[in-house]
Chain A
């Protein structure tokens, strides 16, 4: 099956359809529908992997496209929520900078090791999943400071760990 145009990538791409209505909902303070759009986006994130397995269309491009879509969707949600005063800016900036720095380090690791990271903590991937929860709680102003500052602190810890793992530790055979 085509690496670029296949059912799994179609599901991944469809997540971006949630972004314009999300902005509309937040702008008009229709927070319940904004939350539903975040949940729909999160569920589609889980669905694309399943579709890839069912249709046997997993590819390197698909994984990259999924990661980029995660960054765009969750980054968009958090920035919109911060712009409209739903959530504080400081943790959103920390989360954004940590995510971008981690992606840069992964690119350096690929050049250094000649392959993508092969360690198995998946801590940053877990935190990306947590970002979906953050957007959902942010829409409802639900313990926002507690959740956002907790996530930002965890991201800094994971970033330090991953930096040591990718840039300093010897490359595992």
Chain B
């Protein structure tokens, strides 16, 4: 054992929550930039990738909240 199970769960929560929250902000900014681009394949791909990134990050944040509050 590295630490107590309770402490380790909080470490896991931190490791999931903080990167997910950061990723959420970064991908929202990327999505806004992509939406401002001119029409074309590149815009479509960047919008799609950013939307997937936003959803993944939201899943991470919501998962931590679900674990502790749900």
Which A residues have a C-beta under 8 Å from some C-beta of B?
30, 32-33, 35-36, 39, 119-123, 126-127, 130, 133, 136-137, 140, 142-143, 146-147, 150-151, 154, 157-158, 161, 165, 169, 172
On whether the beta carbons of B48 and A123 are closer than 8 Å, the reply is yes
Chain B residues whose CB sits within 8 angstroms of the CB of A126 once the complex forms: 49, 52-53, 56
Q: When each residue 59-70 of chain B gets 1 if its CB lies under 8 Å from chain A and 0 otherwise, what string results?
A: 110010011000
Q: Once bound together, how far apart are the Cα atoms of A33 and B1, in whole Å?
A: 7
On whether the beta carbons of B12 and A121 are closer than 8 Å, the reply is no
User: Which DSSP category, helix, strand, loop or mixed, fits chain A's interface?
Assistant: helix
Which 6 A-B pairs rank lowest in CB-CB distance, beginning with the nearest?
A121-B49, A121-B45, A123-B52, A119-B45, A32-B2, A120-B45
Q: Once bound together, how far apart are the Cα atoms of A140 and B55, in whole Å?
A: 23
Does B9 belong to the interface (CB within 8 Å)? Answer: yes
Q: Once bound together, how far apart are the Cα atoms of A126 and B30, in whole Å?
A: 14
- Nearest chain A residue, comparing its CB with the CB of B5: A32
Which B residues have a C-beta under 8 Å from some C-beta of A?
1-3, 8-9, 12-13, 15-16, 19, 41-42, 45-46, 48-49, 52-53, 55-56, 59-60, 63, 66-67
On whether the beta carbons of A142 and B67 are closer than 8 Å, the reply is yes
- Nearest chain B residue, comparing its CB with the CB of A142: B12
Other A-B pairs, 9, CB within 8 Å; known A32-B2, A147-B59: A39-B15, A123-B48, A126-B53, A133-B19, A143-B63, A146-B63, A154-B56, A157-B52, A165-B45
Chain A residues whose CB sits within 8 angstroms of the CB of B59 once the complex forms: 147, 150-151, 154
Interface core residue of A36, A120, A151 (most chain B CB under 10 Å): A120
